[in-house]
Each structure stands twice: as structure tokens, then as C-alpha cells.
Amino acid sequence: MKQIALDIETVANQPDYFKSGKKNDLISIALVNIDNTNEVFYATVRPPIEYQGGGWYKNHGMTWETQKDEKTLDQIWPEILDFMEDSHIYAHNAFGFDMKVLIESAEHYGLELPECTWIDTKHEWMIRGKNRSESSLENLSRSFGFYDSGHHNALVDTKMLVKLIHEMRELNFFKDGTKMVEMKNVIYKTYSKTSDKAMKSYVEFTGMDFLLEE
């Protein structure tokens, strides 16, 4: 099974976006094969027309004007689907952000979702009690010495994530006990109430209560 690193950027212009905002606003996605970094997919897209206004998240540098002539997600989806299918997908904050954005953005266009399994590198870092307050991709990349000033570009962030994953492998992460979430379980919300204190702590940290829904 392929091991794929993923990063997504979004419009993020809604009040209280990261806690409760609608997440159908994907505007950039990057995918890199962790074990063959020459295998790369990167694209930016035009979001749904509802995001034509201003107030976009500033750090990625994209606006409606930069994106209005790009393809929409449904037009590039076959390539994304092919890349992600039957893979382990690693994202830094997968459970709190990337997974939900990908699902809601695909559902906006009625797209088939890939059969894949998600692994959250931020979650794996936090449950081992390693520098919880420094668990962002930026802080960890700085700690390991491979921070790229192009941070918040999806492809730059995915390449940093690949390097972080290799560091985590060296530290014996991703062994027994790694939290792995199948896409089909997220789609149908078949999560059971968990007694995993680390997961509950993570849900509180991210505000993503859907992880604990029946």
C-alpha cells in the first residue's frame, strides 16, 4: 500500500472557521509519495462561487482573483482519486482539518471518495507527549532544521511533511498503536465513543467533535 503525504489550503474566510465553519472551500492540494518523492500531484482550484467575496486567509497568498480562472475541483478529481486510492494518507492535522475539508469539498460536487486510510502526524506526535505546545508543522520543521519559508503553499508543506515523517520513523513512530481511520468510517460517521483520553484531548484541542460522534 502506498504511503502518501497530503496538504490542503482553503479559503478560510468564515467566522469561527476552524471550529465550526463549512469546509467545502478547498483551493489547493498537494500529494507526494513518501517513499518515491518524484511522484507528486499539485493543483490549485477555483472554489465554489459562494467564496467570491474577500476576507480569504492571507498566508497562502491566494484570492478569488488568483483562482477565478482555475479549474474547479471536479475537473481535476480523477487525478486526485487515482493518487489517493488504496493508500495510507498522512496529513498534519488530518483528523482536525484535512480529512473534513477533502470530504466536504468532494461532496459539494457529488464526487466519489477514495478508499484510503488516514494517519494524523500531529495526533501521533501529541499522544506521545512530545512537545505538545510545539506540535505545529512549522515548529517541528524548525526543530528538525528543514523549515521552508514557503510555508502555507500546499506543495511546500507536503514536502516538509515528508521530511517530518522520515524523522518520525527514525524515532519509531507509526508502530503498534498508530491511530488509523478508514475513509468509509468517516463518511458514514461510524466512530464509536472512545475511551482514548488522547483522542478526546485532541478533539478538545481542535474543536472537531465529529470524531467522537456515533
Q: Residue 214: inside a domain, yes or no?
A: no
Residue 21 confidence (pLDDT) = 75
Q: Residue 38: inside a domain, yes or no?
A: yes
- CATH number for the domain harbouring residue 151: 3.30.420.10
Residue 214 confidence (pLDDT) = 36
Q: What is the distance between the alpha carbons of residues 148 and 144, in angstroms, rounded to a whole number?
A: 11
> How far, rounded to the nearest angstrom, does the alpha carbon of residue 4 sit from its chain's CA centroid?
11
Q: Residue 78: inside a domain, yes or no?
A: yes
Q: Indicate whether this model's pTM tops 0.95.
A: no
Q: Residue 201: inside a domain, yes or no?
A: no
Q: What is the distance between the alpha carbons of residues 26 and 62, in angstroms, rounded to a whole number?
A: 11
pLDDT tens digit sequence for 114-151: 999 999 999 999 888 666 668 999 999 999 999 999 89
Residue 107 is placed in which grid cell?
461532496
C-beta separation of 2 from 33 below 8 A: yes
String of DSSP letters for 116-158: EEEEEHHHHHHHTTS-GGG-SHHHHHHHHT---TTTTSHHHHH
Residue 148 confidence (pLDDT) = 95
Instruction: Find residue 29's DSSP bridge partners.
Output: 8, 43
Q: Residue 119: inside a domain, yes or no?
A: yes
Residue 51 confidence (pLDDT) = 93
Residue 187 confidence (pLDDT) = 61
Residue 126 confidence (pLDDT) = 87
Reduced to 3 states, what is the DSSP secondary structure of residue 43?
strand
Q: Residue 205: inside a domain, yes or no?
A: no
pLDDT tens digit sequence for 77-91: 999 999 999 999 999
- Residues in the chain where the model's pLDDT stays below 70: 129-133, 187-214
Q: Residue 213: inside a domain, yes or no?
A: no
Domain housing 40: 2-188
Residue 186 confidence (pLDDT) = 73
Residue 200 confidence (pLDDT) = 55
List, in order, residues 6 or more apart from 127 with CB less than 8 Å away. 179, 198, 199, 202
Q: Residue 28: inside a domain, yes or no?
A: yes
Residue 28 confidence (pLDDT) = 97
- The count of structural domains within the chain is 1
Residue 29 is placed in which grid cell?
492540494
C-beta separation of 38 from 120 below 8 A: no
Residue 130 confidence (pLDDT) = 67
